[in-house]
Structures are given as C-alpha cells and as structure tokens.
Structure 1
Amino acid sequence: MLQNFIHYFFHFIVIGLIAYLFDKKNWKKYWLILLATMLVDLDHVFADPIFQPQRCSINFHPLHSYLAIALYVFGAIFIQHKIIKIICIGLCFHMFTDAIDCLWNNFG
C-alpha cells in the first residue's frame, strides 16, 4: 500500500514541484505537460498480460527500454527547446519512478 502511495505521489504530486522549479511563472502549464508524459505507459497495452503488479517496466516495455531512456536523458540534458526539454525531463522522472517500483518489488 505504501509502495502504491509513493508511486502515484511521485507521478502526480512531485511532478508539480518539478514544474514549479522549471518555471515558477508557468508551472501549471508545465505540470500539465508532465502529466501528459504518463502517456508513455500506453506501451503497456502490448504486454501479455497488460497489467502484472510485480513486473518491472524498465526494459520490459518498448518506451521503457534502456535505449528509450537514453534518448530521454539526452533530450533532458542537451535539447534547449523548453517544451521538448520538459517532456524529456518528465519521461526521465517517470522512468525513475518506475525504477523505484522495480527496486521495491525485488528488494522491498
């Protein structure tokens, strides 16, 4: 139960802090963009079964692969366009949140 709370707290609330730190004046706009990055989970529909609570998403689903994560990190660091940069930051944070679940499931 604590794991689920932390997972969704990170996915919905902590990204608000990230948006605020990214741009204090327009944080609501960036928070919505960060929320939209959760659409990366659409790649879960290609899994069989679609939902398996103990499965680690990292490097299992295509948009959660190490290659995809490398692209997200590259974009977060090197791309200067604000919208693309915040999308990449959101995707990186999403992968971080999912990685916490993987650790929790394997060692918790």
Structure 2
Amino acid sequence: MPGLIAWVFFRKNWKKAWLIMVLTMLVDLDHLLADPIFDPNRCSIGFHPLHSYWAIGAYCAMFFIPQARIVAVGLLFHMFTDYIDCLW
C-alpha cells in the first residue's frame, strides 16, 4: 500500500515517498517498551507512546507542513491500519 499511495499522491518523487513511508513503520519500535512485547488482544492505538492520541494529533499537524507531509501520510496510514486491527 505505501507504494500505491506514493505513486498516486507523490508521483513526481514516488520512489522517495515510498521509501519514507516504509521507514515510518519504525514507529512500531515503541512496542519494545511494552510487557509483553506482543499481545494479540491488545490494541496499539492509545497504548504505545508513538501510537498515543497525542502522537496521532502531532502526525495530523505534520500533514499541514509541506516538508513533513510524506512522513505524516505514512504515519497516519500506519495508525489507520493499526486501528483496523483493533476493530478485528
């Protein structure tokens, strides 16, 4: 999906946008702070520091900064997919 998003919305620099969006998956490193590290029944949103509502608000604000927009899109897409996991 990051590749498709990059190609559709950032076509001029889609390879760079794709790489940046793939790198935003590093946001999951905050799972290492949890005990246990992985719990299949735990919702990441609101639990891990980089998945907190404050962090998501910061990602939304980043969207309006042109230099940070690609990072914001990657992080917000990541939060969206984690939220879908919470619904399941």
**Structure 1 unmatched ranges of 5 or more:** 1-13
| Matching of residue 36 in structure 1 with residue 23 in structure 2 | yes
Q: Distance in 2 between matches of 1:93 and 1:74?
A: 14
Q: Distance in 2 between matches of 1:26 and 1:85?
A: 13
Question: Of the candidates 66, 81, 84, which is equivalent to residue 80 of structure 1?
Answer: 66
Q: Distance in 2 between matches of 1:23 and 1:42?
A: 26
SS in 2 for 1:25: helix
Of 57-66 and 21-30, deviating more is 21-30
TM-score by length of 1: 0.78
Tell me the equivalent position of 1:16.
3
**Structure 2 unmatched ranges of 5 or more:** none
The one-letter code matched in structure 2 to 1:79 is I
Q: Distance in 2 between matches of 1:57 and 1:31?
A: 23
TM-score by length of 2: 0.95
Superposition deviation, residue 22 in structure 1: 2.3
SS in 1 for 2:37: coil
| Matching of residue 99 in structure 1 with residue 86 in structure 2 | no
The one-letter code matched in structure 2 to 1:35 is V
Q: How many residues align?
A: 88
Question: C-alpha root-mean-square deviation of aligned residues, in Å?
Answer: 0.9
Identity fraction in percent: 65
Question: Of the candidates 33, 37, 57, which is equivalent to residue 46 of structure 1?
Answer: 33
The one-letter code matched in structure 2 to 1:40 is V
